[in-house]
Chain A
Amino acid sequence: AQSVTQLDSHVSVSEGTPVLLRCNYSSSYSPSLFWYVQHPNKGLQLLLKYTSAATLVKGINGFEAEFKKSETSFHLTKPSAHMSDAAEYFCVVSDSAGGTSYGKLTFGQGTILTVHP
């Protein structure tokens, strides 16, 4: 079984300040982890993914995330927020059981990021 907990339902930052969106996961297997972003009334766009290579993963638009196995965390960060970053962000774990990847995704509840001028 796998699960994802996003620790904050809403995060509010000022433009130009750092962004931290927190995610903890549980998985019976070596997980693959993703962050997706959803802008209002839009579909989901992949920001970045971790698939057992480097633990620090860089994504699009200046975002990055660090996989910490000991803490079962995969927090998303960005050094300086931009107004266009305002959106809902989802942390996702993929079911990759024993090398046979069914690819069933389990989503966190989402974190809404608000960026103030």
Chain B
Amino acid sequence: NAGVTQTPKFQVLKTGQSMTLQCAQDMNHEYMSWYRQDPGMGLRLIHYSVGAGITDQGEVPNGYNVSRSTTEDFPLRLLSAAPSQTSVYFCASRRDREETQYFGPGTRLLVL
């Protein structure tokens, strides 16, 4: 049982490049979420999903796309990276009707 895994751990992009941050969980959790962490701002919700095929926007969705084709995977796509997207990104999952969310180890992204 690996829990929540994220790849890559670290990435450097140039402005305008695209990439996908991968997130997977093996706990059969219905809910998955993406957060970004910036200094002094805690974690802010980007997008979330309540099940396969269902996604919704969080607090800061602009510049990011998501999809949920399977229960296990919830990739986050940056279509055209901007320096403002330099951040640490965390994926989380939880079971329906349970409060505790489980976080992945994070992806550190630098956009030049």
Binding site for B on A (CB under 8 A): 4, 9, 32, 34, 36, 42-46, 49, 51, 90, 94, 96, 101-110
Partner of B99, one of A4, A43, A101, A106: A101
**Please, which residue of chain B has its CB at the minimum distance from the CB of A42?**
B105
Contacting residues, chain A, for B43 (C-beta < 8 A): 44, 90, 105, 107
CB<8 Å pairs between A and B, sample of 25: A9-B40, A34-B100, A36-B103, A43-B90, A43-B103, A43-B104, A46-B100, A49-B99, A49-B100, A90-B42, A101-B99, A102-B48, A103-B31, A104-B45, A104-B48, A104-B58, A105-B35, A105-B43, A105-B101, A107-B35, A107-B44, A108-B42, A109-B41, A109-B42, A110-B42
Asked whether A103 lies within 8 Å of B99 as measured between CB atoms, the reply is: yes
Bound form: Cα–Cα A64–B92 in Å: 24
Q: How far is the CB of A26 from chain B (nearest CB, A)?
A: 15
Binding site for A on B (CB under 8 A): 31, 33, 35, 40-45, 48, 50, 58, 90, 92, 94, 97, 99-101, 103-106
Q: How far is the CB of B72 from chain A (nearest CB, A)?
A: 18
Asked whether B40 lies within 8 Å of A105 as measured between CB atoms, the reply is: no
Contacting residues, chain B, for A105 (C-beta < 8 A): 33, 35, 43, 45, 92, 101
**Please, which residue of chain B has its CB at the minimum distance from the CB of A99?**
B97
Q: How far is the CB of B95 from chain A (nearest CB, A)?
A: 9
Bound form: Cα–Cα A107–B40 in Å: 11
Bound form: Cα–Cα A44–B97 in Å: 21
Asked whether A103 lies within 8 Å of B101 as measured between CB atoms, the reply is: yes
Bound form: Cα–Cα A51–B99 in Å: 8
Bound form: Cα–Cα A101–B98 in Å: 8
Bound form: Cα–Cα A48–B53 in Å: 32
Contacting residues, chain B, for A103 (C-beta < 8 A): 31, 94, 99, 101
**Please, which residue of chain A has its CB at the minimum distance from the CB of B106?**
A43
